[in-house]
Amino acid sequence: MKKVKLLLIAVFALFSTGIFAQSPPADTYVFTGSVDTDLTNGANWIPRRPTDFEDANNQLAFAADVDITQNIVAASIELASGFQMTVSDGVNIKVTGDFNAIGNVSLGTGNLTVGRDLINENSFNGGSGNINVGRHLTNGKAGTPGNNANFVGDMSRITVGGNLTNTPNTNSTFDAGVYRPIVHGQIIGDVIMPPESIPVSAWSVALAFLLIGSVVFFKARVA
C-alpha cells in the first residue's frame, strides 16, 4: 500500500511540477513499475508502452525503478525522486531536449547524448562511455541548501556545449572522474578535476634530459 501511495505521489509530481506541467502531449509515456523494472513490459507503463523506443517525439517519465536494456531516443526524459535508473552496458541514450535526473542514474559503457540540459539533483554515475551535453550540465538544485547532489564522471568522457555548474550553496559534489571534461562555456562552482596530463612533447624532452644526464654521469665515473 505504501509503495502504491509513493507511486501515485511521484506520478502526480511529474505531471504537476515536472516537464509535463502543462497538458501532456500525445507522445507522453510514464513508467510506473507496476510489475517490475523491465522497460519492455507494457504493464509498467501508462497510458501505454511506447511502440518505438527510438522515437524522437517521445517524452518519457519514470516514476519507478527501471532497467534500461535497449537504446533510447526521446524528446525528453525525467526520473522522479527516490527511484533508480540503471543503464546496461552498451546501451545508448539520446535526448533531443532535457534530461532531468531527480532520482539516481547509473550509466554503463554506452553513450549519453543530451540536446539541451542535463540536470542532476541526486546521484549520477557517468559510467565509461561518452556524455555529450548540448547546452548546460548542472549538478544540484538551486535554492536547496540540503540537496547534496552527487555527480561522478567515473570513466566517462564529458563534453559540455555551455556551462558546467556544481550549484553553489547546495552541499553538492561534482567529481569529473578520470578524464577532464571539455567545457565550451564556464565552469561554475567547485568541480573536482583530475590532474592535467603532461603532453607527449614534454615527456620526450624530459626523457632526452634523462638520457643525456645518464651519459654524462657514466662518462664522469669512467674518467
pLDDT tens sequence across 137-154: 999 998 887 789 999 999
Residue 161 is which amino acid? G
Domain contains 46: yes
Residue 39 maps to a domain: yes
Give the model confidence (pLDDT) of 45-98 as tens digits.
999 999 999 999 999 999 999 999 999 999 999 999 999 999 999 999 999 999
Bridge partners (DSSP) listed for residue 132: 113, 159
Contact 69, 48 (CB under 8 A): no
Residue 141 in any domain: the answer is yes
In a domain, 217, yes or no: no
pLDDT attached to residue 198 = 54
* Residue 209 forms part of a structural domain: no
Q: Are 168 and 145 in contact (CB under 8 A)?
A: no
Of the candidates 176, 149, 168, 158, which has an alpha carbon nearest to the alpha carbon of residue 113?
Answer: 158
Q: Say if 212 falls within a structural domain.
A: no
pLDDT for residue 127 is more than 80: yes
Count of structural domains within the chain: 1
User: Is pLDDT above 90 for 134?
Assistant: yes
Note down the domain range covering 137. 2-198
**Backbone phi and psi for residue 29, each to the nearest 5 degrees, phi listed first:** -130, 130
